[in-house]
Amino acid sequence: MSFQFDSPAPLLPEILALHGKWRADRVAAICDDEQQNWREFTQSINRAAHALLSHGVQPGDKVVVLMSNGLPMLHALFGIMAAGAVSVPINVSVADDALVGMLQDSGASAVIVSDDYRERMEHAIGQSRHSLRCKLCTTGSSDWLDWAATLAEQPGGPPQVSIQADAELNIIYSSGTTGTPKGIVHTHRGRRDWAYDLSIALRYHSGARTLLSIGLYSNISWVAMLCTLLAGGTVIVARRFDARSFLNTVASHRVTHTAMVPVMFQRVIEQMMQQPDCADVSSMQAMMSCGSPLHETLKRQIFERFPCGIIELYGLTEGIITTLDPEDAEGRWASVGKPLLGTDIQIVDNDNQSVSTGQAGEIVSRGRITMPAYHGRPDATADAAWTDQQGRAWLRSGDIGFIDEQGFLYIVDRKKDMILSGGQNIYPQDIEAVLVDHPGVREVAVIGVKSERWGETPLALIVKADGYDCSAADIIEWCNPRLGKQQRIAAVEFTAELPRNPNGKILKNQLRKEYQHVCINDV
């Protein structure tokens, strides 16, 4: 009789449980003055799982999470995972009607909320007329279970739940910057493999001390959170982002890793410029920026002030990821690097044909990190696919880019943000990259507005730098000679702020709607 050893391929709940066994006394999670070692952290996760199962939540059920950052939210997300249920973390800044829509679309069986969001969720439940098995809140009431009290009643051992690798782990809703948010499904196998591959690309290890400054509902936070916990490191959860607090936390906790969006790094650099000796950042080993383009000027400033430099990540929650290593940044500051380990990308034109090196087109990708589907949206899933000559389905990005001769990817712009002026394609990102170098420009977004002569023409919407006075004419006079003839901006509007989603991405669809009646008589 032949003998074969068992060779398990553990999923994330089992990996974390093993950390609780073998890394028991190492710190796993910190928030403010509260911290838990790995033994305590995994016991809290298990209690959360038991709590959900004891109140009727079954493996495969969807659980909506609308919570403020903190250890209770960590316990909720990973407790749902350990129970074999599916977490649906909701962006706390979504409009009420969007919250209703996501609650309905997810088909949730339960909700977990922070006390500060209980009234909003009550309203959403009433509007959706949604039936739930249980409602849990960080502060209980007559018809809400008390989250902390419920957990305290449960055992700390692992739940007896069988989880299949292809079972759903979570649903992350897209930002909705270009349309109705879609639920992006991730499986247990997919999230585990995604975390493995990203841990290598982003240089995580068991000694990582990672500062999470974005809401834990965000996939950017999931990158940093899962990579750190997979490696057995420590996550430090910030209640909210503030540049001064970020720098103080880095110094006091000897933070090694973080993941943020460009506007957050911009605020940190501004703080460091105001107070050159404000903080010690020598502990930082790897930082990741994603969510929107990291312009060259800001990228250079980060390299000047952080010895570790920065890793720029281009990606979609759906499963396209490239990274630019710090060592490769010099000489290719505008690049977003090369595909993640095990991932492939191509550039295709409007006729769905692969293009030559250096030619722009839509970025498509395939690899083991690609989502299986959009939740309940077979139409959207089909629309997101590009099929190659071998019959293999690749994921469309909706982004325009090109690959240079060394294999580095450059993003040109969002396909939907492109301006068609006089029959020429104009990419706002090219214009924005010039405008951000003007000393009077703190933030900028370029959109297309109606033009009597060209059909569409570029309009620059600018937030002025503090203490800098300049006119629209000054900006145009400085900018246009630095642009190609077709790229030149026709007008400038100053604004106090640009609309952004919580991940820092500028909401250009909102700006286009606001300026849809503008028509410029440009010469």
The DSSP secondary structure of 183-250, one letter per residue, reads: EEEEEHHHHHHHHHHHHHHTT--TT-EEEE-S-TTSHHHHHHHHHHHHHT-EEEE-SS--HHHHHHHH
The C-alpha atoms of residue 210 and residue 232 are separated, in whole angstroms, by: 11
Using DSSP bridges, classify how beta strands 183-187 and 168-173 pair: parallel, antiparallel or unpaired. Answer: antiparallel
Contact assessment for residue 20 and residue 29, using Cβ atoms and an 8 Å cutoff: no
**For 138, which DSSP code?**
S
423 dihedral zone (left: phi>0; alpha: psi -120 to 50; beta): left
Residue 12: CB atoms within 10 A of its CB come to: 20
**In the prediction, which pLDDT does 416 show?**
76
**328 Cα distance to chain centroid:** 23
Q: Number of helices (H) and strands (E), helices first, in the chain?
A: 15, 27
| Contact yes or no for 101/126 (Cβ under 8 A) | no
pLDDT digits (tens, 9 = 90+) for 48-87: 999 999 999 999 999 999 999 999 999 999 999 999 999 9
Give the C-alpha separation, 410 to 314, whole Å: 10
Phi then psi dihedrals of residue 3, to 5 deg:
-120, 140
Instruction: Please give the class, per CATH, of domain 12-187.
Output: alpha beta
* Contact indicator for 36, 28 with CB cutoff of 8 Å: yes
* Interval 464-517: pLDDT, tens: 998 888 898 999 999 898 887 778 888 899 999 998 876 677 888 888 888 888
Residue 472 burial class via C-beta count within 10 angstroms: exposed 0-12, middle 13-18, buried 19 and up = middle
Cβ-Cβ contacts under 8 Å for 331 (sequence gap 6 or more): none
Asked whether this chain's domains 12-187 and 209-344+366-394+402-412 adopt the same fold, the reply is yes
Secondary structure E strands in 427-490: 441-451, 455-464
Question: What pLDDT shows up at residue 502?
Answer: 66
Paired strand residues for 235: 29, 210
Q: What percentage of the chain's residues is helix, strand, coil (to nearest 5)?
A: 35, 25, 40
Report pTM. 0.85
pLDDT score for 469: 86
Q: 418-520 is classed in which CATH architecture?
A: 2-Layer Sandwich (3.30)
Q: Which residues are within 8 A (CB) of 3 and not within 5 positions of it... i.e. 6 or more apart? A: none
**Which top CATH class is 209-344+366-394+402-412?**
alpha beta
* Spatial distance between the Cα atoms of 496 and 462, rounded to a whole number of angstroms: 8
Please report, as a single letter, which amino acid is at residue 24. A
What is the crossing angle of helices 12-22 and 38-54, to 10°?
Answer: 140
CA dist 87 and 76 (Å) reads 9
pLDDT value at position 177? 46
Q: Where are the domains of the chain?
A: 12-187, 209-344+366-394+402-412, 418-520
Write out residues in the chain with pLDDT < 70, as ranges: 1, 175-180, 422-425, 502-503, 522-523
